[in-house]
Amino acid sequence: MSRVIVVKFGGNATENRVSRKKILANIITLNKKMPVLVVHGGGPQISKMMKDAGIKPRFVNGLRFTDRKTMEIAEKALAAINSSITKQINIMGGNAFGISCREGGLIVSKRVKELGYVGEVQSMDMRLPALLFSVKIVPVVMPVSSDGKKTTLNMNADTVATELAIAFRAERLVFLTDVPGVKDAGGRVIKSIKTGNIEKMIKTGVVTGGMIPKLKGCAAAIKRGVGSVQISDGTHGISAGAGTTVVK
């Protein structure tokens, strides 16, 4: 099997209709040549539903604190996004199948108690996405897992995308977000970042919030065998070279 491309589609990016269509068209074309796996987030959609329910979103190092009610809301919001992305790929002539991390034991997680109902990877089973690849179907993954028993756990979508990219030794991992790349202290997009500089950028506050798990994911992916890692917005689809590339 040729090497996989993992695309992380951020919650904001999924809401831009023009770039979303371009990205999905890119994914459909790419999938004719090689396996593509999509992981999506839903940050803004979850936060909006929380506000409607009178709950104030809270983040710790860019990770959402998830109490029981928030978990329920997150699962609903993510399921709706998952179904709409999957549906659109299929309508546009591609072939997609939506799953959560629960299906086929894709990710069994253990609870990070400080964050409420949030999980980190305990074990993975890649057979279901591999099966979908073998029949040229794009797995569309929502970042909700279980602890292997009854408890449903929320996961950061960047972490899920990173772990899946590492498990498949992906050729490319592309984070599509709502900014054109990682910005320096002056607000300019940085073309290329060395993994060795990432901790410092977080410590000095150049990188904050949702960019923290993304850059940590980039560093882990590069160290553990993923070919190339990139952060960009979707205005140019998923073309290589756009935005910020993270290098060894």
Ligand X SMILES: Nc1ncnc2c1ncn2[C@@H]1O[C@H](COP(=O)(O)OP(=O)(O)OP(=O)(O)O)[C@@H](O)[C@H]1O
Q: Does 234 bind ligand X (CB under 6 A)?
A: no
- Position 79 contacts ligand X (CB under 6 A): no
Which tokens sit at 96?
Answer: 């997609």
**Shortest CB 52 distance to ligand X, Å:** 17
Q: Specify the DSSP element, H or E, that contains 231.
A: strand 228-232
Interaction pattern, residues 33-62, with ligand X; x per rule: CB under 6 A: --------xxx-------------------
The backbone region for 106, taken as left when phi is positive above 0, alpha when psi lies in -120 to 50, beta otherwise, is: alpha
Q: Residue 23 and residue 44: Cα distance in Å, rounded?
A: 19
Task: Find the length of the chain.
Answer: 248
Site mask, ligand X, residues 191-220, x = CB under 6 A?
Answer: ---------------xxxxxx--x------
Please give the Cα distance from 22 to 96 (Å, whole number). 16
Interacting partner of 209 out of ligand X, Mg ion, none (Cβ under 5 to 8 A depending on kind):
ligand X
Instruction: For the segment 179-218, give every residue that binds Mg ion (CB under 5 A).
Output: 210
Q: Report in angstroms how near the CB of residue 27 gets to ligand X at its nearest.
A: 16
What is the closest distance, in whole angstroms, from the C-beta atom of residue 37 to ligand X in the complex? 15
Question: How far apart are alpha carbons 37 and 220 in whole angstroms?
Answer: 18
CA atoms within 13 Å, Cβ hemisphere of 26: 21
What does the binding site for ligand X look like in residue numbers (CB under 6 A)?
Answer: 10-13, 41-43, 157-158, 177-179, 182-183, 206-211, 214
